[in-house]
Structure 1
Amino acid sequence: MNTLKTFRALSLIEGLSLVTLLFIALPLRNYFDINIVWPVGMTHGVLWLAYLVMSLAVSHKQKWSVLFWLVAVVLSVLPFGFLLLDARLKRELVLQAT
């Protein structure tokens, strides 16, 4: 299986978990007294740790620069940053296919 493709999928899932935490779970707790922050936050945390480990492996395999790897890590903690990284990963996958 292509590790870059797997990493791209993990990146999308992890990014969506952050968006869910920030824009669904936290407002539900603060405005409607529905607390799902712990399970959503724990899921996001586990996904982020998996993202971090896999990003190291993929960066080594793809021969990314340290700077690009750091950008990928920073984008993982910014809401919707995963979309910017996804565009880059998609281009990289297209280049690999040709």
Structure 2
Amino acid sequence: MKLSQFIFIGRLEVLSFLVLLLIAMPMKYFMDFPLAVKYVGWAHGVLFMLYAGAIAILGYQYKWKFIRMFLLFISAFIPFGPILMEKRVLYNR
């Protein structure tokens, strides 16, 4: 796997997280449309698993230390986290 692919997955994961928080959740609670959370949440879950798997693959390929992989994983729980971690963690090898 290439770093560019990982960055792309990370950005898609960020986008899905923001859509879930800012569009699907309000649709569920203010418009009584729970299917928005169901489908966007499902897509976000798949992208999150891809992101986590990509961390493991790249960690093995580049022989990253555990702390780098841990920081990348934790960043996925913060809005814009993977984008913020790109320069700090990925390009400082």
Paired with 1:69 and 1:31, the residues of 2 have a C-alpha distance of 38
Paired with 1:61 and 1:51, the residues of 2 have a C-alpha distance of 15
The corresponding residue for 2:16 is: 17
Structure 1 stretches of at least 4 aligned residues deviating more than 2 Å after TM superposition: 86-89
The corresponding residue for 1:46 is: 46
Seq. identity, %: 28
Q: CA deviation at 1:63?
A: 2.4
The corresponding residue for 1:7 is: 6
Q: TM-score, normalised by structure 1?
A: 0.82
Q: CA deviation at 1:86?
A: 2.8
Count of residue correspondences: 92
The corresponding residue for 1:71 is: 71
Q: CA deviation at 1:62?
A: 2.2
Q: CA deviation at 1:50?
A: 1.0
